[in-house]
Amino acid sequence: MTELTIFSCPKPFRDEHITRIQRNAIGTWLQLGPQVEVILLGDEENVDVVATDLGVRHIGEVEQNEYGTPLIHSIFQEAQLASTAPTMAYVNADILIMPDFLTLTSIVRNLDKFLVVGSRIDLDLREEITFQDGWQNDFIGKVEGEGRLHKPSGSDYFVFPRGTFMDIPPFALGRAGWDNWMVYEGRRERIPVIDASGSIQIVHQDHDYAHLPGGKPHYRHPESNQNVQLAGGNEMIFTLQDTNWRVENGLLRRKTWRERGFFRSVETWLYLHFGPGRASQAVRQSFHPIQTLRYLVRLLQGNGK
């Protein structure tokens, strides 16, 4: 019986490095065992070929925006409609997963609704993983020696019950903002938003941004600005700090205000209370006076030209 469906929308399998890290990532998902199903979505170059080669499912039709970028709401809808597993996991296609990922399904088993997110470890991995006996020990040693903990700005995986998150705004995949909105939306829906950082180890393989227009990082693209607007503004950009539960020693525990930060807890409570709009904008201006002052200075300088 399939317990977990991992789904993703990979980049084109064209560049040698991107091809290698994506095949590495999918390979670790398949190592989780027969109770895990993998679905690759999108019609990017050679995705269907790789899906056939690795023996995983492929769904080609995914909605795109005017730039040709796949849209998150279509990816989540198509994957959930195709799955029969009780639990879904969206994972970015460059993320390596260890077997401890499966403990999440047992930890959240008794919850009707939930969202599990977590931080990642960055690693410069230049070789192909062969998945021979003992590969995990060798790999874990490399992570411990060379890995770098990423800042808690967003998440590269989202675990949730099938049938939820079916009404996502048309965010552009691979651009900033949508992962932060997921944390906000979970909090707004008053479901446990669980930070599994420190308990679940995932590894992001370093890569450049040659696959993006101009080779620029995703947060410098107009589509990222559009994502933030779709999210409701910068006030709805929540991070892992804003999760309200955590995994600790294999158990769920509600986070304290001290862990989330007293002032940040008050700030996010106000955002959740007011929702997108001027009231939340005023809250942000009050809690971040230096940023507000800089914005006003830039505005005055612009008007003075």
Residue spans of the domains in the chain: they are 4-252, 260-303
pLDDT at 208 over 70: no
pLDDT at 219 over 80: no
d(CA 138, CA 97): 14
pLDDT digits (tens, 9 = 90+) for 104-157: 988 998 999 999 999 998 988 888 888 888 788 888 888 888 888 888 777 899
Is the CB of residue 136 less than 8 Å from the CB of residue 129?
no
Its pTM stands at 0.90
d(CA 101, CA 91): 11
d(CA 289, CA 18): 42
Q: How confident is the model at residue 234 (pLDDT cuts 50, 70, 90)?
A: very high
d(CA 51, CA 40): 7
d(CA 215, CA 227): 19
pLDDT of residue 216: 52
Nearest to 235 by CA among 166, 304, 199, 282: 282
DSSP state of 176: T
Structure tokens at 112: 């009707």
**Torsion angle of the four alpha carbons 107, 55, 211, 167, in this order, in degrees rounded to the nearest 10:** -50
CA angle 53, 68, 80 (to 5 degrees): 55
Whether domain 4-252 has CATH 3.40.1800.10: no
Is the CB of residue 166 less than 8 Å from the CB of residue 215?
no
| Cα 221 to the center of its chain, rounded Å | 18
